[in-house]
Amino acid sequence: MKDLVYRTADSYYKAKQFANENPEAFWADIAGNFEWHTPWDKVLEFDFLTPEVKWFLGGKLNITENCLDRHLKTQPNQTAIIFEPNDPSEAAQHISYSELHSRVCRAANMLKANGAKKGDRICIYMPMTPELAIAVLACARIGAIHSVVFAGFSATALAARINDAECSILLTSDGGFRGAKVTPLKEIADEALTSCPSIKNCIVLRRTGQDISWNPIDLWWHEELEKVNDVCPAEIMDSEDPLFILYTSGSTGKPKGMVHTCGGYMVYTAYSFKNVFQYQKDDVYWCTADIGWITGHSYIIYGPLAVGATTVMFEGVPSYPDYGRFWEVCAKHKVNQFYTAPTAIRALQKHPTDLVEQHDLSSIKVLGSVGEPINAEAWHWYDKYVGKHKCPIVDTWWQTETGGILITSLAGVTPQKPTYATLPMPGIQAVLLDNKGNEIEGETEGILAIKYPWPSIARTIWGDHERYKNVYFSAYPGYYFPGDGALRDAESNFRITGRVDDVVIVSGHNLGTAPIENALNEHPHVVESAVVGFPHDIKGNALHAFVIPSTEVSANKLAEELRALVAKTIGPIAKPDRIQVVRGLPKTRSGKIMRRILRKLASGEHDSLGDVSTLLNPEVIEEIKKNN
């Protein structure tokens, strides 16, 4: 495959057919576009029942040589990263491939000088500064496994993730700028580190200059950099060595540390990046996600850099200093591909359209959407005001677990359809199943499943392979089960209908209801709680918590305390919009909370509860209805 990319529908459909008939030859061809120290001796070994997936077995590589060193030969002065600061009056930075290479190598030496080695876990809790990307790549350079924790998470959540992976170093910063706010990251990290015995060093980037307290294990980033040079040969990694861990929430209180490996992840993120966005040399590509999420890992850092692209990193928020900021940045850097989340579009859509129209968006060729289903209204607004009806929109369906985009159109190459993610990428075998796990054909609705591995599938959950098996491979043996429902039209386009498990997507963030309930239950006056999602104008879904108090309490005061508790235990993103005090929760006779009914109650669908007579306590329904 030349240049990794299909530029015509014809070549796309041919590739698809070839991939279905000869998957190993198909992926080997793509993997041949990269630099390997030693070629693989076997393309794939897998068994979805155990489950075990290995790609490019025996292959040796370092992903940073593919993202950095090889571009030095052809385009050392090409901009790799454009950094756009939170404050528009601060100058943007253009970091070339050769500068990025040098800074990554120096940071890698800083990590080594502080004891880091191949296989160690390094936690990164940082704002969206260039040093965050550099930290990620520096870990990869020396074969340390990075675990980026989104800088909006609380001390408790950070500590849980550090301890689960037994990280030895924490990389953080004094604080972070986000809109008009300054987040006290070091203070939060300090609190977390009171319960993280595995951390030996905490290296602190100076970003905001705010006062911070200083502990014996703390080191200043800029001082550590001065002690080392920028020559750092890449650690040679096995294709299946872990590259990173990234936590995602699940249906128990404990987050799942998804493990991605070096070879397959590199191949798939680069391949999907180039094809989906139809990136061309010298284009400027901007993904607005945070590197704390998989979107940032795959489509701000690894995918774009692997193909030598120019990728924008934005520190701020869409509403600061006003709701025109995204468009101002697009005009300023002449962005060609713009990739954001439906929740951001819905928020922007509420504001006057001249905030968009006053900026010159003529550079934009491709628009992208990720994180949740995009509703028709948001799709059409995006198409009209941002795309001016001339930019294809790629609605990209994927997950932390899949590592890269699996279902999408290719911009301008394959047909789009509003609210439909459309077709699986060549090499992806997506099917619909009925409740019994039988494949169903044609125009229908069912449970989405993937029946053949792809190179960037997560290999395990850190420290808990059994859970990996249970969550993704047990419900429908022989398939990867992502947890989403979907429908398919007569042209085989998929439309993702939403989660079929206890995960709610709030503003594009994947939140398990169980960890939130656990947090609520920590309150001394809460006996039991249940959290469900309900449709929300801007966030897509928001959270409704039903709580049973132990004593007579002021509902407002309790709600306020519970919100603070959730923010402290998980992070502000998990705070329920509504907290309803109830006397009982609808339960089955075996004592299981009927979330299906609570979801309807929270969504105001009081008349479609179905048969409630089999409940243990049908009388609670009337009380809940009355008060919500």
Residue ranges that bind ligand WT7, judged by CB under 6 A:
248, 293-295, 370-373, 395-400, 421, 482-484, 496, 499, 505, 510
Task: Report, in Å, the least distance between residue 421 CB and ligand WT7.
Answer: 5
Cα dihedral 600, 518, 510, 258 sign: negative
Calpha distance 191→153 (Å, rounded): 12
Nearer to ligand WT7, 404 or 426 (CB): 404
**What angle is formed at CA 525 by the lines to CA 248 and CA 566, rounded to 5 degrees?**
25
Minimum distance of ligand WT7 from residue 332's CB (angstroms): 26
For the CB of residue 489, give the shortest distance to ligand WT7 in the complex, in Å: 15
Rounded to whole angstroms, the Cα distance separating 456 from 63 reads 13
Indicate the residue among 248 and 580 with the shorter CB distance to ligand WT7: 248
Say how far apart CA 238 and CA 118 lie, in whole Å. Answer: 11
Nearest to 531 by CA among 432, 456, 602, 610: 602
Place of tokens 């995006």: 382
CB of 511 to ligand WT7, least distance (A): 9
CA–CA separation, 435 vs 49, rounded Å?
Answer: 19
Q: Residue 433's beta-bridge partner residues?
A: 439, 447
Nearer to ligand WT7 (CB atom), residue 102 or residue 409: 409
CA nearest neighbour of 168 among 128, 200, 135 = 200
Minimum distance of ligand WT7 from residue 454's CB (angstroms): 14
What angle is formed at CA 371 by the lines to CA 399 and CA 239, rounded to 5 degrees?
Answer: 30
Strand partners for 503? 512
Other beta carbons within 10 angstroms of residue 268's beta carbon come to 30
528-to-553, 597, 601 alpha-carbon distances in Å: 15, 17, 18
CB of residue 293 to ligand WT7, shortest distance in Å: 6
Dist CA 546 CA 599 (whole Å) = 11
Q: Note whether 329 and 336 are within 8 A (CB).
A: no
- Residue 73's Cβ-count burial label (10 Å; 0-12, 13-18, 19+) is exposed
Q: Shortest approach of ligand WT7 to residue 296 CB, angstroms? A: 9
CB nearer to ligand WT7: pick between 313 and 505 = 505
Residue closer to ligand WT7, measured from CB, 330 or 505: 505
Of the pair 109, 248, the CB lying nearest ligand WT7 is at: 248
Shortest distance in whole angstroms from residue 450 CB to ligand WT7: 12
In the complex, minimum distance from the CB of residue 341 to ligand WT7, in angstroms, rounded to a whole number: 8
Q: Is 513 helix (H, G, I), strand (E, B) or coil?
A: helix
Cis before 342 (ω within 30) = no
As measured in angstroms, the least distance from the Cβ of 18 to ligand WT7 is 26
Q: How far is the CB of 382 from ligand WT7 (least distance, A)?
A: 13
Q: Is 627 left (phi over 0), alpha (psi -120 to 50) or beta?
A: alpha
Angular region, 304: left φ>0, alpha ψ -120 to 50, beta rest: alpha
Nearest to 374 by CA among 340, 415, 339, 419: 419
Peptide bond into 321 cis (omega under 30): yes
How are strands ordered across the β-sheet holding 337-340? 93-96, 79-84, 310-314, 284-287, 337-340, 366-370, 393-396
Residue 248 vs 456, nearer CB to ligand WT7: 248
Nearer to ligand WT7, 276 or 370 (CB): 370
Question: Residue 28 or 294: which CB sits closer to ligand WT7?
Answer: 294
Closer residue to ligand WT7 (CB): 292 or 549: 292
DSSP character at residue 324: T
Please list the residues that pair with 543 across neighbouring strands. 533
CB closest to ligand WT7, residue no: 510
| Nearest residue (CB) to ligand WT7, 32 versus 535 | 535
> Hey, which bits of 451-525 come out as E strands?
460-461, 484-488, 494-499, 503-506, 509-512
Q: For residues 349 and 422, which CB has a smaller minimum distance to ligand WT7 in the complex?
A: 422
Closer residue to ligand WT7, CB minimum distance, 239 or 396: 396
CB of 312 to ligand WT7, least distance (A): 18
Shortest Å, Cβ 586 to ligand WT7: 25
